[in-house]
């Protein structure tokens, strides 16, 4: 009897372990129903690699009022924006209203006021993601509707484009068209917003190589809550450009022409070096090395931004710096980070300078103007055979 009970417990534990690493059929259907298919047209958007400026994205409903989260680059400069649901009773394409945007976080909140049917929605995960966490990416890669891929969180805090925006790195396959879709845990709650892939290839569109980035659930929720309430998501910053230093790259920095010219000694330590920056805050100088903030050690930029992200514009911080072998304390007032969508997502092609209009020449400038036309009449052009022309 005891042996039978032991075997039963083992089977139950095994079943639970298997289920804990996968999505149930019910959760899959719920996530798919809350994930939308977005059709967009945006001629001046570097994220759209289609020659006609059209593309597809994903998004997901976050509340019963019909608010939907997607990537900002999916709505940037959009001349047309529509979406569809995974609903066999609803084959409509809905016009979209943009509620709020945050270009740096690559987040947009959109709305479809005309849908009357109740909307299924997803909840934000309340747990902090960890390395190795099982996750599932839901979306529409290459315009193929409602695809689900499985992976793990490869790194729980990547920074890309800005140290003030944190991403989850995952090996769950995402490709063009997955942008804006949810990255969910085994409970079907959102742990990230799929945003981009890392691929060194220059071929477009870039495809999955197992390194996808999704905006973390805590950062995404904070941004979305502000946008839904009609507020701008504001980030405080020191207002300087920083380069992380460590004993391995110190020697290379000391050989830089600007550093040699300034006659500054780069400390042999960890910290963030202030690069030459316009509008330097009072009290700071180029090539100062920040090694502390409000009593906390700064080994790299992430240490600095982790403290600043909990501050507000106008707050003051105390920086411990090293300036030419001398420690100094500097009080700095935080500024507002200003970034536009055009700076991040406009196409970066060469500007075409229009030619100046041609001004008619006078007879003095061009003697040919007074010449008499040739007596020979111009022969009419013979019509071309379209079949021959097409064959050329």
Q: What integer pLDDT is reported at residue 9 of this predicted model?
A: 47
- The verdict on whether omega for the bond into residue 191 sits within 30 degrees of 0, i.e. cis, is no
Q: What integer pLDDT is reported at residue 354 of this predicted model?
A: 41
Mean predicted confidence (pLDDT) in 294-311: 95
> If you average pLDDT over each of 9-23, 86-100, 353-367, which comes out highest?
86-100
The CATH number, out of the four listed (2.40.10.10, 3.30.465.10, 2.30.30.90, 3.90.1170.50), of the domain defined by the range 134-228: 2.40.10.10
CATH class assigned to 2-111: mainly beta
CATH dotted code for 236-336: 2.30.42.10
**Which position has the higher pLDDT, 83 or 114?**
83
Question: Could you report the per-residue pLDDT of 1-43, keeping only the tens digit for each?
Answer: 555 544 444 444 444 444 467 889 999 999 999 999 999 999 9
Q: CB count, 10 Å around CB of 373?
A: 7
Longest dimension (CA), the chain: 120
Domain boundary assignment for the chain: 2-111, 134-228, 236-336
Give Cβ neighbours of residue 87 (< 8 Å, ≥ 6 apart): 33, 117
**Are 82 and 95 in contact, with CB atoms under 8 Å apart?**
yes
Question: Could you report the per-residue pLDDT of 41-75, keeping only the tens digit for each?
Answer: 999 999 888 888 999 999 999 998 889 999 999 99
Q: What integer pLDDT is reported at residue 49 of this predicted model?
A: 80
Q: What value does the mean pLDDT of the chain take?
A: 85
**Are 220 and 69 in contact, with CB atoms under 8 Å apart?**
yes
How much of the chain exceeds pLDDT 90, in percent? 64
C-alpha to C-alpha distance for 243 and 231, rounded to whole angstroms: 32
Same fold, 2-111 and 236-336: no
Grade residue 366 by pLDDT with cuts at 50, 70 and 90: low
């Amino acid at each position: 009897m005891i042996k039978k009970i032991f075997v039963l417990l083992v089977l139950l534990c095994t079943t639970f372990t298997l289920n804990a690493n996968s999505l149930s059929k019910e959760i899959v259907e719920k996530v798919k129903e809350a994930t939308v298919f977005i059709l967009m047209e945006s001629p001046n958007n570097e994220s759209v690699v289609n020659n006609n400026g059209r593309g597809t994205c994903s998004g997901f409903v976050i509340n019963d009022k019909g608010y939907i989260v997607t990537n900002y680059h999916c709505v940037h400069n959009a001349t047309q924006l529509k979406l569809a649901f995974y609903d066999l009773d609803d084959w409509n394409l809905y016009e979209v209203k943009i509620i709020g945007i945050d270009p740096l976080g690559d987040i947009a909140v959109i709305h479809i006021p005309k849908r009357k049917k109740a909307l299924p929605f997803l909840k934000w995960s309340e747990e902090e993601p960890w390395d190795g966490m099982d996750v599932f990416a839901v979306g529409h890669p290459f315009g193929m509707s409602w695809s689900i891929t499985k992976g793990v969180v490869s790194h729980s805090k990547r920074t890309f484009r800005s140290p003030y925006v944190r991403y989850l790195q995952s090996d769950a396959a995402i490709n063009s068209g997955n942008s804006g879709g949810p990255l969910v845990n085994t409970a079907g709650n959102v742990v990230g917003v799929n945003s981009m892939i890392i691929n060194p290839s220059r071929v477009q569109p870039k495809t999955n190589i197992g390194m996808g980035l999704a905006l973390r659930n805590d950062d995404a929720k904070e941004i979305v809550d502000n946008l839904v309430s009609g507020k701008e998501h504001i980030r405080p910053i020191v207002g300087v450009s920083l380069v992380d230093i460590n004993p391995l790259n110190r020697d290379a920095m000391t050989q830089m022409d600007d550093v040699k010219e300034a006659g500054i000694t780069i400390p042999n330590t960890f910290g963030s070096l202030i690069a030459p920056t316009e509008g330097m805050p009072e009290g700071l100088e180029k090539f100062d090395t920040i090694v502390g903030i409000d009593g906390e050690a700064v080994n790299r930029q992430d240490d600095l931004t982790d403290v600043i992200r909990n501050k507000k514009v106008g707050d003051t911080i105390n920086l411990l710096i090293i300036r030419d072998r001398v420690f100094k304390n500097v009080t700095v007032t935080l500024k507002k980070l200003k970034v536009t969508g055009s700076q991040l997502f406009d196409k970066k092609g060469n500007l075409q300078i229009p030619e100046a209009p041609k001004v008619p020449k006078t007879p003095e400038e061009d003697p040919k103007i007074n010449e008499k036309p040739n007596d020979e009449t111009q022969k009419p052009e013979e019509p071309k055979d379209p079949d021959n022309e097409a064959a050329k």
